Every structure is written in C-alpha cells, then in structure tokens.
Structure 1
Amino acid sequence: MRALRTPVGLAAGLLLVLLALLAVFAPLLWGSRADAIDTDALQQGASAQHLLGTDALGRDIFYRVLVATRLTLGLALVATFVGVTAGLVLGSLPSVLPRWAGRLVTSAVNIAVAFPGLLLALFFAVIFGTGTVGAVLAIAFAITPSFARLTQTLTASVSGRDFIAAARVCGVGRFRLLVRHVLPNIAEPLVINATLAAGSALTAFAGLSFLGIGVQAPSYDWGRLLGEGLNRIYVSPAPALGPAVAVVLAGLAFNLFGEAAASAASHRQVVRQRSKPLHESTVEERDGEGVLTVRNLRVSFPGAAGWITPVRGVSFTVGQGEMIGVVGESGSGKSLTALAVSRLVEDPGVVTADRLEFAGKPVTETSPRELGTSLAMVFQDPMTTFNPTRRIGRQLAEVSEVHHGMSRKAAFERVVDRLRAVRIPSAAKRARQYPHEFSGGMRQRAMIAMGLMGEPRLVIADEPTTALDVTVQREVLRLLARVREERSAAVLLISHDITVVAQTCDRVLVMYAGRIVEELPTAELFTSARHPYTTALLAAVPDLETDRDAPLAVIPGRPPEPAEIGAGCPFAPRCPVADERCRNEEPELTEVEDGHRVACWRLVEGLPGLDDAMPDEKCRDGELRAGRVS
C-alpha cells in the first residue's frame, strides 16, 4: 500500500498494529492484574512497582490502561461502522429515490451538517441516555451527516461521467447503477474518510466517558480512567497522563494513517523505469499487416433484459501512415469502437473480437507497459479530459516520466518541444498554465501534443473538431495531417462531418447501428457511394446553392437504440428502397469492388429503385446538394 511507503504512514501503520495487538492480548495477559484490589496501595503515585500509580481501590492504572485498549477501540470502531453505514445509505438515497424524495433527504443532511459534531453527539447522548449503547449511537449519528454529505458529493461527481450515461442508456436500474458503477468508483475516498472518522470517534467517545455519560462502572475505557485520574492531577499527574497519552496516540494513529492514505491517493508516485530511446517503439509490427487489425469486434453491456451490444461485429484494418475516417450519426458506435480498440471500455462492459491486434500484438493480452505510447488517443472534449487543478505541462510530462523514465526536468523540456510542434506560441509559458487559461483550439492542440509525447504509430482522434469554429477546425485537421506525414503515423479520425472526412482521409468507414455499412476510398465517396444511408448523409449536407426557403434535408426517423435492434437491416425503417427481405434479414458487409464493401441487399441483387437514393450529377462532381432525402 502506498500509504506505508511514507514515514508518516509507516509510523501510523505500526502504531495501529501495536494497538490492535494490545486490544487482542492485553486483557488475556494483564486482565487479572488490572482488576486486582490492593488495600495497602490506595491512590499511590507513580513508582517502579506501579508505573502510573494506583486508583482508589489500589488497582494498577498502567495495566488498566493497557486492558482498556480493547473496549476503547472496539466501541470507537462500532460507532464508526454504524455512522459510516448510515451516512453511506443517506448519501446514496438521492441517487435511487424519486427527485422530490431525494431533495428532502439532501436538505435534511445539509441541516444536520450545519451543527458541530460534538454538539450533535451531546444532543444524541441526552436522547439515548447514559451508558455504552447510548454513547455508541450518539457518536455514530454525529458522524452520519458529514459522511452522508461526502457520499452525496462523490456520487454526484461520478454520476456525470460518460460510462454512467452509457449504463443508463443500456437500461441499468438505479440501484444496480449505484452498486455496480458509482460506489466502486468512490470507494477509495470513502475508506480514507472512514479511517479519519474512526480517530474522531475514539476521541469523542473518550470525551463522553470523561464527562460520565459514556462507559459506566464496572467497565472502563480510557475516557473513564482519565476522568478518575483528573481528580488528583495536582497531587499525582501520572494517573491522568497515562490514559490521556493513550487517547492522543490512538487518535493520531488513525488520523495520520488516513491523511497518508489520502495523500497517496491524490499524488500517485511516478513509477520510473530504465529510459528507452524514444525512436524505438515498444510494439513491433508484423511485416505485411496493418498497424491496427480489427475483426468481428463486439462491445456489450448488461441490461435489464439481458446483454445489449452497441457495437456488433466491426471489422477493418488501418495501414501504416494511412488516415481513415469513421462517420455516422450519434449512437452509431463510432466512439465506442475507438474506446474498445484503446482498452478504455469500463467495467461491466465486455469487449470481444476474433482478432484485435495493434502492430502485431493482441491488444487484450498485451500490458499497457508493453504497448507503451505507440497508441495515442485525442478525446472529443479536452476540457473534461485535462485535470483542471493541474498545470498543462505537468499533465503532459507524466507521459514521459512514467513510460520513458525521464527526469522531471527532461520531461518538461520535452513538453515544451511538443507544444511548439503543435504550434502553441510561448510554449514554455503555456506549459505552466492551467487548462482554463487555454482556448478551445489550444486545448485540443495540447491534447494532440500529449499524444506526441511518445512516438505514436496510431492516433485515434475522437471528434477532435467538435465545438470549434471553422478556422480552428482547419488548424487542428492540418496538425493531424502533419503528424501523419512527418511521423508516418496512422490516424483514425472519428467525425460527424462527412465532408471533413472526405477532405482529409484516404478511406471512410460509414457506421450505422453498431456496424460498418459501407467502406470505400474517399476519392470515390461522391461518385461511387452505394449504400442508401451513405447517400442520404451526403445529400443532407447543404452547400452555398441550397434553396434557403426550402427546409433542410434530413434523414427521416431516428437511429435505433442498441436494445431495439431486431431482425433485418437496422436502416430499413428509414430506407426509401427497403423491401421485405431488408426487414427480415440483415445483410453482411460484402466487397462489391476492389476496396469497396457494402452491406445492402438491394445492391447485391441489383434491384431497381436504388438510383432514387443515389447522389445526383452535382454530387458526383464533388458538390453536395440538400433536399435529396425527404
């Protein structure tokens, strides 16, 4: 555990182990001595025979402090467990209850958090009465509000992530979503804060026993021993100092260990390895094969009615230095395919493929260390990808520090060089800035620079021009093209804009409902597109000659949800030339010409009526006309 690698964490861990050993063995070894009454040694001070003196019945206080470890720690841990469990339930309820009920729970927690914890403990102690059970419940319910607030905050931070949204789309219920997706992702901070809460519970319990409303005679804990020894502290301070030191040390052990664990979780130590020459890739490519080979790729998620498969049997190859575009409507499986290739599909998603190889190595069986930085991913929104609390330079430098074993100084110099390579002015100054100080286009270029911190052989760009104006969009596309030319890197460009793909890529993959429905060279896109969906996409793009008084062309209907895909061609309900076979049997992707594959029954059989869905002469001349699809 990383917390034990720090001096503070190691010291706190050893102290906790010592306390655990005392809690287990002290009553067995010294229980009889702690309870032995000696009328000849009443209220004696510290001596060689009695290290902390004796109490009013002549019992040795030192042994009583050791024996009291079990009850003190046990009650503190029980109170922590009850409080943390109650806080976890209250904090999670807004995620599973209806909105109005969740708001009531949140409001109640917010009101409770406004009161100091000790005041709440005293309030509940009065309600539950004096004694061990009342004190445990009082401290537990005093811990509950703050832990509930923490759980609510962490749950809200995770609930907005993409994999949570994907699970909702797949039909995962609220309770299952909470247990399977949310809680495992917030477990680490919850455990750390539970450790801190245990230290607070221990000191609070000692305080209640000291005031006389906690542990009652004949039982005793450190707080009760402290209260008994305080009556004669001016005459003999040792009987009070002994349990006081025990409370302080135990509280410090829990709190320092929790702080060390939190520090280790927030600042992961950089794993350094022997430096490798950057021009040498960690993955070798087989002769005569593509950089990326995908055969029958499937991505599935569990749903309420069974497994849902948003990506269904995708196959393609990306060659060295080749730029391939992937187009399709939202929900067609483009980004999920890229995530699956990059091994970024979160559990419980399942990725299967007959063959999924990057540069000759099976992706699913190769460790991230072995893959190295040969595969780079440029995400759609760098503002949510970059950590907003860390400087751009530090985030980019981690790539070289972790994967290439560079020193911090050398890695930063490489960051500056890579920022210059992507045309970011004043690179050294910009590297010390935070993501919010960058414009949208500069953040996207910084994301590309992160991919260039190594020597990538494949760059997967997932909607890199989304939400950018046309000028910045052109700069980003030119940058990707330059990366491809200068480094012979392959590029897989995912985009909604079919014209962008046509202008920049060598080949285009058209996806619909989780499958590739057409693959062809971009040079033939406007003249040889054969699938009705591809021609509809082309026809739906307006140009300068589009009639402004006429409504914009659209593809009627909507793409099917992954759980709605049944028998037949998924595009059949929206296709102007679909027949009965199209509605009952799904076509396979078939090669109709060299380098041109189409999944359509009408094309294979050469049935009439297809010309109505094809681009007109103006489209074949390289221009796009609106109004072709009603």
Structure 2
Amino acid sequence: MRHLLRSPAGIAGTTLVALSVLLAVVGPPIWGAQAERIDPAAILQGASAAHPLGTDSLGRDILARVLVAGRLSLTLALLATLAGAVVGTVLGALPSVLPRRAARLVTGTVNALVAFPGLLLAMFTAVVTGLGARGAVLGIGAAIAPGFARLTQTLAASVAGADYVSAARMLGVPRRRVVAVHVLPNIAEPLILNLTQALGGALLGLAGMSFLGLGVQPPSFDWGRLLFDGFSRIYATPVVALGPAAAVALAGIGFNLLGDCLARAAARTDARPGPAVPLPPEADIEPLGPPDPGAVLEVRDLTVRFPGGVTPVRGLSLTLAPGEITGLVGESGSGKSLTAAAIGGLVPYPGEVSAARLRLCGADLGELGDRERRRLLGTSLAMVFQDPMAALNPALRIGGQLAEVAVVHQGASRAEAQARAVDRLGHVRIPEPAARARQHPHELSGGMRQRAVIAMGLMGTPRLIVADEPTTALDVTVQRHILGLLHEVTAETGAATLFISHDIAVVAELCHRVVVMYAGRVVEELPVDRLPSAAHPYTRALVASLPDLETDRSLPLAGIPGRQPSPAEVGPGCAFADRCPLARDRCAERPPLMPYGPEGRGHRVACWEAS
C-alpha cells in the first residue's frame, strides 16, 4: 500500500478500483428501484435535471441503471478472470511435470491458442456455449486462459529444474502434488499480480460481448448492454451512451493501473533502512552514541529479514575508515553478501532492511529521499560482484555500460562519458582500452571482465568500494592481479574497501582488519596481524583449516565438524556451540561482542570461553 500511494498512477488506480467496488456493493440497494421504474411519460428523453443521462425506451433512468449495473459487470468480470486463470495456470504448469511428448502437446496447444485472436476465441466460445451471461463469461475466460498459460509455463520452467523438484520426482511424488506443492507456490506472486490486470481486460471484454449482443440479455443489464441500448441514439442524444461508456473505461483503467503498480511494487528493490528491528531479549545492543565524523561507512544494528522468520543478518555493526581495507569472512550462508546488498540498497523483495544507523559519507541513508539516495550510492559507492558476467549486460558494449554511469549520475554528455570510460578501462590496465570499449562482455576474458567492473566503479569518485568475492571464479594468477589492483585503487582514491571472502588466506594478504561472521552475526573483529592469535574458536578453526608447506600430507585436511545453522534455525544462544570444542552450559546464552586483550587494539570477540 505504501508503494501504491507513492505514485499518481497508483493513487488513481486504487481510487478507481475502490469506487467501482463500492458502487457494486451499494448500487442495487440504493438505486435498484429507480433503475427498474417504468415511466411512459418520460420515454427516450435527453439529459435533464430529473434524468442527468436521459431515459431509455421505457422511461427508465439511465444514470440509475449505470449505477446498478456495476455489480453484475464486476461479478461477471471476476468469474471470467478466475475461470481463465485457473484453466490457464493448470495448462501452463503441466509441461513442467508431464513426460516430454505430452509436455510438447500441451505446449503446442498453448502456443496455438495464444496465436488465435482473443476476441474471436471469446465470440466462438460464447456462440457454442449459448448466448447470455454464462456464454460471455466462458468466452472471456477462454480468451484469458492462453495468456495465463504462457506466463505460468515461462515461470514454471525456471522452477522445474530446481533440485527440490528433481528430488520430488525421484522420490515418486505424484505429479499433481509436484505441481501443487513444489511448482505453483513458488510462482504464485506474479500470477496473482497478473490477475488484477486480467480483471480489467475481462471487464472490457465482457462489455464488448454485451455490446455485440452476445453477452447479457434482457431483462438483465450490464454496462455493455446499456451501451448497446444507447448506441442507436448516439447521434441524436449522445449523452445516453456516455454514462455506460465512462463506467466501463474508468473501471477498466483502474484495474489495469492497479495491476501495473502492484507488479512494479513487487519487483522493485527497496532496501531503504527502516527503524531498528527489535531483537530477542538476550541480544546485545550497543549504545548508539554520536555519529563518527571520520567514518566513510557507519552501520549500527543492521538486520535483514525475510518472511517466515528468516533473518540472515542479525544486529551487525561495522565502521570503515578512509583508506582502510576491511575483510568480511565466514562460511557460505553466514550473511556476508546480504550485508553488502543491504549497504548498497540491493536486498531483493520481499526482504526487509532495518538499522539503528546506516551512514555513508556522513549522510544517513534512511533520511534521504529516493533521488538523493540514488545519487549518493551511484557516485560514492562502487560494487564489485563475484560474477562479472552477471554484473555486465551481455547485450551492450562495455564502453556504453561504463558511460551510462557518468551520463546518469554526473550529467556528462555521451561523448564525454565514452572518453572517460576508455580512460577508466586503461586505468585498470586493460590493454587497448578503446578497442575493448567497443566489445561485448563475452568477448573479454574473466579477468578483464572483472577489471571492467572495477573500472565501472571508478567512473565516479568512490568513497566506498564493496568487493563481494571478486576473485572466486578466477585462476590464481589473475586473482593476484585483481587483488593488487584493488589495493592500488584503495591507496589511490583513499576510499574505504569492504572485501568479502570465504578465503581467510586472501583476506590476511590484502586487508588491514578482519570481521568474522557466523550465522548472521559478527563473532570476532581484529587487526589482520592478530589472526594467528585469534580468540574465537570459529576464527581459529578457519585459520587452522588453511594448508601450508608444513602441512602433513599424510593426514586429512583440517576442517570444522558439523554445519552452520540456516537463518531460520538460529537459536538464542551461541550459534557455534554445537560445533565448538569449548562449549559449556553458559553458551546457551549468546555472548556479547566484548573487547579482548590487555592492549585493546580494536580486538573484540563474542565468546564466553575466549582466552
């Protein structure tokens, strides 16, 4: 609702739909008797004070009939939409679970129906099933079904290859259960959103069927039937057709606007930090204190939540200073990438981000308007993702993608932006930058693509660089070059860098400070030179799992027994207790992040048994 009321289209669509529904509810009780009253003395009158839209051939008030017809019009449209949606959804989901030959047959049927004109399909169905409201509903439902089937088929194809669907098939789960339990629930949201837009189309379609004489028949009447009755007088008294025409148009526009705005609201990424999410009573909440004026990034009590109680990031606090490279390490699933996404405003829907404080370059992101926030993130934050092929649009040339940053955020002309793009590509030591700028991403090697992503971040003047496992997919030689380049860029620009990795050896080589995450929380924060004497058992286990030249190759590689709990399984105590050799009864209570060591030196640890 918040997103709907932000835009003029959302406000207009919500208002029109609300008025249409209200009219359908109160219209017949209030104006029903007036709409049916026959007045021989007022036959075929034009607009007057007594009859603003005139009267029909029996002297009945047309305005009252328009107000009453809203209930039947909306009811028939809803029935037609539901019928088309149910049939189309079933047809579209079947190919994902049927054998190949049957799936091809269903797909071919859907393709043929989609290619057939919808109005002709609706008219043919209405004639076959019989004239009247039932035939019109079945006809419009038949016209809607192919579109739903195509959408469902496309969405289901992305789910059908998932491991959980394959596992269900292997276990012999019945096909109807695979569709109902494993496929449809995961594609329900876009189908529901499309339902609203289809309702507007069904309303217009049913009005058209009644106008052609194939829909509602006398003595019943809907907006289309009223339009048909008034059309013969449109040249003499055009006002008699304006009422039903305006009702059909406004209601149809309202449903289409509402559906479009709902789809955009669901698809948009909204990571604007809200108020701090209340944590469990055992959680340690640090005193907020005044903002750090020298920090590039200051995060306090950052929490990321998804529906169902899934909380991948829990009360994280982090401060980055200019010129500092901070490593964020932990196993896969510990919340590292979602932390970076929350900072950059990239947490996908339906995730919710909250923070007691989230400041970038001295500005509170939660207090900025959308335009100011986008401008700050677009010019002061550089994101380097793990997969550069996914970060770059394969359909666009490298130079054009880099130039877009300068055009959108800096107001540069296309020529100036293109020249800066070539300069930035050369700056990250890509050979022949002018030629590379004219190439597409697939024409570059993995290392050059990653350099191009770094160059994209340098199109502005970044104050913060977030590198999310940027060397994972690269070979060792290219990895070293990328790490060296990140170090040089940080030193040259004075930016703060957040380097995310699961490889603690890489972090030890590149970073000044290390933040260790486990199950969504920070368990240790320490200078990189203190990694060999880490205090938390988890950090020690990560360091011990690194082989070196002195490792005994006759023994199995060191590892950490057990597994990290999923975000929905994290309990109130220490999340590492089940895997920790030092666990005691006290670990049932979660330890706060406490200063460690006599000399301090920015070392903090969350462990009762740290020594």
TM-score relative to the length of structure 2:
0.67
* Cα 1:86–1:439 shift into 2, 3 Å: farther
Aligned-pair distance for 1:466?
2.0
The residue matched to 2:424 in structure 1 has which SS? helix
Letter in 2 for 1:144: A
The residue matched to 1:365 in structure 2 has which SS? coil
Partner of 2:573: 568
The residue matched to 1:482 in structure 2 has which SS? helix
Partner of 2:504: 498
* Cα 1:487–1:340 shift into 2, 3 Å: same
Aligned-pair distance for 1:389?
4.3
Output the CA distance in 1 between the equivalents of 2:195 and 2:424. 38
Mapped pair 1:140 → 2:141: yes
Alignment of 1:277-288 (within 5 A): none
Partner of 1:245: none
Output the CA distance in 2 between the equivalents of 1:36 and 1:391. 74
Mapped pair 1:114 → 2:99: no
Partner of 1:595: 602
TM-score relative to the length of structure 1:
0.65
Deviation per CA, 1:258-282, whole angstroms, max 9, x where unpaired? 89x99xx99xxxxxxxxxxxxxxxx
Mapped pair 1:405 → 2:403: no
- Residues 343, 364 of structure 1: 8 Å contact kept: no
Deviation per CA, 1:274-306, whole angstroms, max 9, x where unpaired? xxxxxxxxxxx9875321122333333332xxx
* Cα 1:71–1:222 shift into 2, 3 Å: farther
- Of 443, 452, 455, which residue of structure 1 is paired with 2:449? 443
Letter in 2 for 1:453: M
Letter in 1 for 2:148: F
Partner of 1:578: 582
Aligned-pair distance for 1:541?
1.9
Range 360-369 or range 531-540, more displaced: 360-369
The residue matched to 1:460 in structure 2 has which SS? strand
Output the CA distance in 2 between the equivalents of 1:392 and 1:157. 28
Alignment of 1:269-418 (within 5 A): 289-303=294-308, 307-368=309-370, 369-370=372-373, 371-372=376-377, 373-418=379-424
Deviation per CA, 1:169-220, whole angstroms, max 9, x where unpaired? xxxxx9999999966667777766766676666666666x3x8x87579979
Output the CA distance in 2 between the equivalents of 1:226 and 1:94. 35
Partner of 1:489: 495
Partner of 2:475: 469
Aligned-pair distance for 1:119?
6.2
Deviation per CA, 1:485-530, whole angstroms, max 9, x where unpaired? 21111100000111111111111111112222222222232x3222
**Unmatched 5+ residue regions in structure 2?**
9-26, 28-34, 42-55, 58-62, 163-178, 237-244, 265-289
* Cα 1:415–1:204 shift into 2, 3 Å: farther
* Cα 1:175–1:300 shift into 2, 3 Å: farther
Partner of 1:131: 132
Aligned-pair distance for 1:484?
0.6
Partner of 2:555: 550
The residue matched to 1:364 in structure 2 has which SS? coil
Output the CA distance in 1 between the equivalents of 2:514 and 2:478. 23
- Residues 207, 225 of structure 2: 8 Å contact kept: no
Partner of 1:535: 540
The residue matched to 2:541 in structure 1 has which SS? helix
Q: CA RMSD in A?
A: 6.0
Deviation per CA, 1:228-250, whole angstroms, max 9, x where unpaired? x99xxxxxxx99xxxxxxxx999
Aligned-pair distance for 1:413?
3.2
- Residues 82, 141 of structure 2: 8 Å contact kept: no
Letter in 1 for 2:610: L
Letter in 2 for 1:584: A
Deviation per CA, 1:352-407, whole angstroms, max 9, x where unpaired? 33433222222322335243421222222233344444444444333333322333
- Residues 132, 216 of structure 1: 8 Å contact kept: no
Alignment of 1:506-517 (within 5 A): 506-517=512-523
* Cα 1:563–1:69 shift into 2, 3 Å: closer
Partner of 2:15: none
* Cα 1:588–1:480 shift into 2, 3 Å: same
State the structure with more CA Rg. 1
Output the CA distance in 2 between the equivalents of 1:382 and 1:586. 38
Range 107-116 or range 471-480, more displaced: 107-116
- Residues 68, 222 of structure 1: 8 Å contact kept: no
Aligned-pair distance for 1:533?
1.4
The residue matched to 1:331 in structure 2 has which SS? coil
- Residues 286, 359 of structure 1: 8 Å contact kept: no
Range 328-337 or range 82-91, more displaced: 82-91
* Cα 1:214–1:185 shift into 2, 3 Å: closer
Q: How many residues align?
A: 541
